């Protein structure tokens, strides 16, 4: 291997690691915004009344979240970096409002304990996705199909209100989001390798897209685990 090839390889590795650091940095910022928003909203009876006094408000918040995810994912190559970051922070804020209901349903101690378990599980699977040589692309397609099935089951069970369906969906959801954590981490690593030579704002845009993917994996894993480990008030 020539000196030039070695230097190029080291440069590519540094750019890939820079991307991963940016992804986790923005994911942590998003989690912090959501956590603070959820706690403050749960502590205010007026805010809770405004959010959940109207049965259609929760659906509005969910629709806004889905809209922001679609916009960020579809337009990430067209919007500016500041716009992408603002949209991601806005999504984190809206998700925090939605998540505030868990502070009313579960004890703070069980929320903290469950989040710790979810974060540790997420960390282990993210490390696996980063270091494994196994191609997880085929598993990703299967996991995405399972995710669609879970979304449909959640919507249907909103009307059925079956505790058994809730339990089954949560159990399957844990498996799916554990797998998606590894898959998404590997995909981000591969993007870093493929686009290591790109200059300009593209790496910063990819960091926001990666942060959104891993944020969703961790938050949904946490919510699914609450069904089993959370102590209700």
Count of domains for the chain: 1
Instruction: Provide the domain limits for residue 216.
Output: 3-229
**DSSP string of the chain?**
--HHHHHHHHHHHHHHHHHHHHHHHHHHHHHHHHHHHHHHHHH-HHHHHHHHSSTTHHHHHHHHHHHHHHHHHHHTTTS-HHHHHHHHHHHHHHHHHHHTHHHHHB-HHHHHHHHHHHHHHHHHHHHHHHH--S--HHHHHHHHHHHHHHHHHHHHHHHH--HHHHHHHHHHHHHHHHHHHHHHHHHHHHHHHHTTT--TTHHHHHHHHHHHHHHHHHHHHHHHHHHHHPPB-
Render each residue's pLDDT in the chain as its tens digit; 233 residues: 544 444 444 555 667 778 889 999 999 999 999 999 999 999 999 988 888 888 788 889 999 999 999 999 999 989 999 999 999 999 999 999 999 989 888 988 999 999 999 999 999 999 999 999 999 988 888 998 998 888 888 878 777 778 888 888 999 999 999 999 999 999 998 888 776 566 678 889 999 999 999 999 999 999 999 988 877 76
**Model-level pTM?**
0.90
């Amino acid at each position: 291997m020539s000196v030039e090839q070695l230097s190029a390889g080291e440069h590519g590795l540094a750019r890939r690691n820079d991307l991963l650091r940016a992804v986790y940095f923005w994911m942590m910022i998003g989690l912090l915004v959501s956590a603070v928003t959820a706690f403050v909203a749960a502590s205010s009876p007026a805010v809770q009344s405004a959010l959940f006094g109207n049965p259609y408000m929760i659906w509005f918040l969910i629709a806004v979240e889905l809209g922001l995810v679609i916009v960020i994912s579809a337009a990430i190559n067209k919007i500016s970096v500041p716009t992408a970051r603002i949209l991601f922070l806005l999504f984190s804020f809206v998700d925090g409002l939605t998540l505030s209901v868990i502070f009313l349903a579960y004890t703070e101690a069980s929320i903290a304990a469950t989040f710790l378990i979810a974060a540790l599980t997420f960390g282990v699977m993210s490390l696996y996705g980063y270091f494994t040589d196994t191609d997880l692309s085929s598993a990703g397609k299967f996991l995405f199909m399972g995710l669609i099935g879970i979304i449909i089951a959640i919507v249907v069970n909103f009307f059925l209100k079956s505790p058994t369906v809730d339990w089954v969906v949560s159990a399957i959801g844990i498996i799916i989001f554990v797998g998606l954590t590894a898959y998404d981490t590997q995909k981000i690593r591969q993007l870093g390798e493929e686009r290591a030579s790109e200059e300009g704002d593209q790496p910063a845009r990819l960091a926001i897209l990666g942060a959104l993917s891993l944020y969703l994996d961790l938050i949904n894993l946490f919510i699914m685990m609450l069904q089993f480990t959370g102590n209700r008030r």
